[in-house]
Structure 1
Amino acid sequence: MQNDTYFSSLAWYRHMREHAPVTYSEQHQQWMVFRYDDVKRVLSDYETFSSEVESEGHTLTPMDVSLVALDPPCHRHLRALVTQAFTPRTVTQATARIEQLVKDLLEKHMGRGEMDIIDDLAYPLTVTIIAEILGVPVSDQERFRHWSDLLAGVTPFDGSDFTGEMSVYFSRLLDERRREPREDLISSLLAAQVGGEHLSTLELLGFCILLLVAGNVTTTHLLGNAFLCFDEFPRLLEVLARDGTLLPGAIEEVLRYRSPLRFMFRVAKKDTHLGGQSIHAGQWISAYIASANHDEAVFSHPERFDITRTPNPNLSFGHGVHYCLGAPLARLETRIVLEVMLRRFSSIQRRPGSMLEPLDPQGFMQGAKHFPIVFTESRAVHPRSLHAGMNRRSFKSGEEREMQSPKA
């Protein structure tokens, strides 16, 4: 994956924000939305832009009743039940386990001095943590990856009934936990209730499938995209190694600059107007999060990578009632990975000569399929304070440097 592919996307987004911020695609039979305020409205105004599919003549699947596919009041009821089990305490308690697992995964590759960020670290970390939280066998992680990549559109559909396979798999686990509850999220979900009501079996299946997918795919590519940024801005690793307090801001800037999600779908529930266009009930809308995160009207110098950007209201985890429930876990896992690696290694870089293959450019995820690195183990702990004059860190993208050069 070459930077010109990514930068050409940024150039296209910029053109669309300026000339066709809300436009209808005859090819895809849907509206495409590019400006921040419009994208934010599409993501949050559920009374106009719905996450629900039409159920008439359609047999509901677990994903049709998952959090991402429901609007209030059903969404509010389901989220209230789920948050009883998937609490901030659940996430916080995973901190020590995440750090130990990161260390164990890195240790496997210390002798070689190289590894793949996606295949050897990000994916096994995220799928193991979410499997342990849910209470599913980590030994099935290759099956989880296959299902997750298909459901998230990371790999092309292979014709298999993978949603049916997932339903059968989790139905068996639910039956086991009903008979013998354990200290895991599936057992907690079975016990959770609001006003005497429990989650239905279909709702339980939907949440388990959603969490398995969202709990590993998004974070996997958030980590991969962080290293894409490090590859573009090599000085960034040195800055973060000197001052770990900059890490949260750096992660937010990765989310903005290279959002794992390119866009999200909604369907119009009623006739409405957006960006000067008339949208009719029943029409589909793609809200381009990756474009909104680069909107000049909201982000000063949007093509500049600034780890001290404040505020940074990126939309990478959504907005409003559908804001991602797993966002705290994704941020925690990413922060711990970077903290451990920056302590452990004195140098990290993409393996020389390696070519990066992008995810499907038509899919809703963006990033690299693989990211091979080489590293040198550190012999001393990096200082944790920033040198004088290094308190402000912003970096120009390759495209911005090109635009601002004398020859541009």
Structure 2
Amino acid sequence: MTDIVKRYNIPEQHFWLHGPRSGPPVEYDARAGMWNVYGYPELHEILSDPATFSSDTMRVVPEGLKPPKEDFSLDGFITQIDPPEHGKLRKLVSSAFTRKVVADLEPRIAALTHELLDAAQDRGRLELVTDLAYPLPVIVIAELLGVPSSDRALFKQWADALFQRDAKVSLAEPAEEQSAELQATLKPWKEMSGYLAAHAAERKRQPRADLLTRLVEAEVDGERLPDEQVVNFAIVLLLAGHITTTMLLGNTVLCLDAFPEQQDKVRADRASIPEVIEESLRLFTPFAALGRATTREVELGGVTIPADQLVMAWLGQANRDPRQFPNPDVFDPGRDPNPHLAFGRGIHFCLGAPLARLEGRVALNILLDRFNPLRTDPDHPVDFMPTPTMTGVRRLPLI
């Protein structure tokens, strides 16, 4: 992997891409005031035990580091909710991502892919992220939600402001030293919340056959969801509904560029595309880390973590744990089994994983049809996201 790091100038903060890691699977970071977990079996345990490792991480964040309630709320933010509320909310949208619903989207995904590539070729150059990897999943999820896909420049502006910052989380640094980062995050959040709140209010007046209407009309225990929960649920779907696929597509093309022999194999055998995507997810895990908060004292990886501690679970590093994956730094689509954790595990397993996989499979198949070979442009370097917890490219110019 060292050659790939140098070739694509991958930032140092993506430490799991910079070769084998030494050290224990669980470590305390006194400077950040949190625990880091790197090992596969340890992460497997975390994701399998939501009672001990809670998703409600805000409860262990010091008050001085929390934004004002009127500016920022995680009510209805399904990634931050524990059972039993989590299960009730998840059921509200699970029917929108059934196997049949997702499969029925394939013709639309294929048509969009061709349209976007036609437009890029008319301009004479393909920059994968701007021309395909970003707009494709955004249009799909926007159409499902029922918001105008023509607003995707706005969505990108908000997503970039929220996720593409080289910000380091710390519970130990004084709040005043982190206030600038907090304010930079609150602005796009408030803009996005206002945008979706307006669409949700319109659905109350004029319901449609879309996911946003379903959220507005949904009931939990006989009561409608509060407006704030509807908006936060919509934010999760809009952001998570495209960012993972954007990174997945870029990362998979990057793998095929770095390993041309594997590109030749998948070009000759398109049935292996799903395996290529799964190995890309393992090697370049899009969401490389997630947070959990301990509800009790627990032993993990040979150390004792006290109650009420923030734990960063590094999926990107766990997916390269040699205890689980032989030769973990090798891109091997034939890896079997390949139980990577890129989409999480357990009750919080990514709801949109089937859609992301379908978009990746359809788009990659069409790319292989239309571009032979798929190669990055040496005159225009790849631009990696600086965000430590996300693995993906912001720009990927192709020849």
Instruction: Please indicate the TM-score interval, normalised by the length of the shorter structure.
Output: 0.7 to 0.9
Indicate the SS of the match to 2:21: helix
Q: Which residue of 2 aligns with 1:392?
A: none
Figure out how many residues of one structure are paired with residues of the other and give that number: 371
Q: Is the 8 Å Cα contact of residues 190 and 198 (structure 1) preserved in structure 2?
A: yes
Contact 2:55 2:81 in 1 (8 A): yes
Counterpart contact for 2:251–2:393, Cα < 8 Å: yes
Amino acid at match of 2:163: A
Out of 304-313 and 62-71, give the one that drifted further.
62-71
Q: Which amino acid aligns with 1:336?
A: V
Matched, 1:95 2:106: yes
In the alignment, structure 1 residue 346 sits paired with structure 2 residue 352? no
| TM-score normalised per structure 1 | 0.85
Query: Alpha-carbon deviation of 1:200?
Result: 2.7
> Counterpart of 2:26 in structure 1: which amino acid?
V
Q: Note the C-alpha offset of 1:309.
A: 1.3
Do 1:40 and 1:319's aligned partners in 2 also have CA atoms closer than 8 Å?
yes
- Please name the residue that 1:385 is paired with: none
Q: Could you list the per-position Cα deviations for residues 76-107 of structure 1 after superposition, in whole angstroms to 9, with x for gaps in the alignment?
A: 11112222344333322221111101000000
Shift of 1:111: 4.2
Cross-structure match for 2:289: 263
What TM-score, normalized to structure 2?
A: 0.87
Q: What are the residue-to-residue correspondences of 1:68-147 with 2, within 5 Å?
A: 68-111=79-122, 113-147=124-158
Residue 248 of structure 1: aligned partner: 274
Equivalent in 18, 24, 37 of residue 20 of structure 1: 24
Deviation of 1:189 (Å): 2.1
Corresponding residue of 1:294? 320
Distance verdict in 2 for CA 1:207–1:341, change over 3 Å:
same
CA offset digits 1:187-235 (Å, max 9, x no partner)? 1222333553433322211110011111111110111111211121012
TM-fit CA distance, 1:70: 0.4
Greater Cα offset, 80-89 or 300-309: 80-89
| Letter of the structure 1 residue corresponding to residue 149 of structure 2 | V
Partners of 2:104 and 2:225 lie apart in 1 by 24
Aligned match of 1:54: 59
In structure 2, C-alpha distance between the alignment counterparts of 1:87 and 1:66, rounded to whole Å: 21
Cα separation, partners in 2 of 1:86 and 1:178, compared to 1, 3 Å: farther
Aligned to 2:175: none
Unaligned runs of 5+ in 2: 168-180
Are the equivalent residues in 2 in contact too, given 1:317–1:324 (CA < 8 A)?
yes
Q: Which residue in 2 is equivalent to 1:41?
A: 45
More displaced, 77-86 or 56-65? Answer: 56-65
Q: Does 1:196 align with 2:222?
A: yes
**How many Å separate the matches in 2 of 1:199 and 1:12?**
45
1:248-284 CA-to-partner distances (Å, cap 9, x unmatched) read 1110000001111111111111111111112112211
Quote the sequence identity (%): 37
Deviations 1:331-357 (A, max 9, x none): 111111111111222322111222222
Whole-angstrom distance in 1 between the partners of 2:131 and 2:165: 17
CA contact (8 A) 1:13 1:291 kept: no
How far does residue 172 in structure 1 lie from its aligned partner after superposition? 1.0
What residue identity is the alignment partner of 2:390?
M
Contact 1:82/1:192 (8 A) holds in 2: no
Cα distance between partner residues in 2 of 1:11 and 1:3: 7
Q: Which moved more, 1:63-72 or 1:28-37?
A: 63-72
Q: How does 1:359-370 map to 2 (within 5 A)?
A: 359-360=385-386, 362-370=387-395
